[in-house]
Copies of this chain bind each other. A is one copy, B any other.
């Protein structure tokens, strides 16, 4: 079990982060419009606004352009509040990446020129994932010269279904997590089955060329993250003069990042210093055995216990009941905050303050 740093509060982490940066990839896929798939938005119709609203909450504390909160009425808050809190406490630099947004937030972002993903049931989900990958690679190669440690998160409603799509296409049967407390895994499996049948992709095809799996049943976040990682790694090979010799790359998320990890592995990338960090809420999700999945993939995983059971705010305690669980890089940013010396109590206090601030925006609307 050497691949797993067992569940713990983040401050006990022993790793080191050199000059870290957080990258938040924002994407849409029409897959999130399938009823019952995603709890990322206030309603299924509003799911498309979630990445833009998440970015605005990370940046400003309140949504600006999005018409609604990226969360259910009375439900657990978007993990954007966790990410904002961790960024504020660590003062870590961060950049947003537009990798196929339907609605562009009022936040500057690096535009990869990607289009939103289509409903995977047609088996033709992503146009030119190789171009998204190549553009992301170019950005990653610059980021890699600036930072020795990169934490990459995502916000894409419907993303666990596309993760299931690509994992299934690649021949893995791990299951995936969900932003619902009751995971609609059977709906997702049915959607994926339709997409794979429509695309006629085989496991052999997908493993030979994972871009085909993304094109068939994936989403635009995937080639964006994989390309950035490839670019970051290449910046070392290019012999940058910045003193950076090697990079720690943390994929901040649960099953979606396991899918990206699987893609990169089958692309033949050097996986040496790439790991996953996520919350215990995903790790404990019975719909997916992330322990088995990461061990099978050979991926080191760090699991963080945010300690929300002790929160004074009922919305945060709902994470402990399985709502939302993860997203916007929240697990990875909590992990990073711990490494950078922020103790769990301080972090929880800040998350509560950011959440309270967010509830004020709701009330003032």
Which residues 90-120 of A have a CB within 8 angstroms of B?
A: 90-95, 98, 104, 106-113
A314 at the interface (CB under 8 A from B): no
Tell me, rounded to whole Å, the shortest Cβ–Cβ distance linking A130 to chain B. Answer: 13
The interface bits of chain A over 327-345 (1 if a CB of B lies within 8 angstroms of the residue's CB, else 0) are 0000000000000100000
Chain A residue total in the interface (Cβ 8 A): 34
In the bound complex, do residue B113 and residue A111 qualify as a contact, i.e. CB atoms below 8 Å apart?
Answer: no
Q: How far apart are A194's CB and chain B's nearest CB, in angstroms?
A: 33
Q: How far is the CA of A239 from the CA of B143 in the complex (A)?
A: 22
- Chain copies in complex: 2
- Selecting from A35-43, A74-82, A133-141, A179-187, the interface stretch reads A133-141
For the complex, is A365 an interface residue (Cβ under 8 Å from B)?
no
CB–CB B136/A108 < 8 A: yes
A19 within 8 A of B: yes
Task: Encode A135-166 as 1/0 by CB contact (under 8 A) with B.
Answer: 11011001101110000000000000000000
CA of A136 to CA of B109, assembled, Å: 11
Given known A-B contacts A145-B91, A239-B91, A241-B91, A107 and B19 have beta carbons under 8 A apart: no
Q: Which residues of chain B are near A111, meaning CB under 8 Å?
A: 98, 104, 108-111
A150 to chain B, nearest CB (A): 11
Complex-state Cα separation, A147 to B109, whole angstroms: 19
Task: Report chain B residues within 8 Å CB of A104.
Answer: 111, 113
Closest B residue, CB atoms, query A340: B241
Evaluate contact between A139 and B108: CB separation under 8 angstroms.
yes
Which partner residue on chain B sits nearest A94 by CB separation?
B142
- A360 within 8 Å of B (CB atoms): no
Which of A94, A139, A238, A239 counts the most chain B CB atoms within 10 A?
A139
Please determine whether A107 and B142 come into contact, CB atoms closer than 8 angstroms.
Answer: no
5 nearest interchain CB pairs? Answer: A93-B145, A93-B142, A111-B111, A108-B135, A146-B146
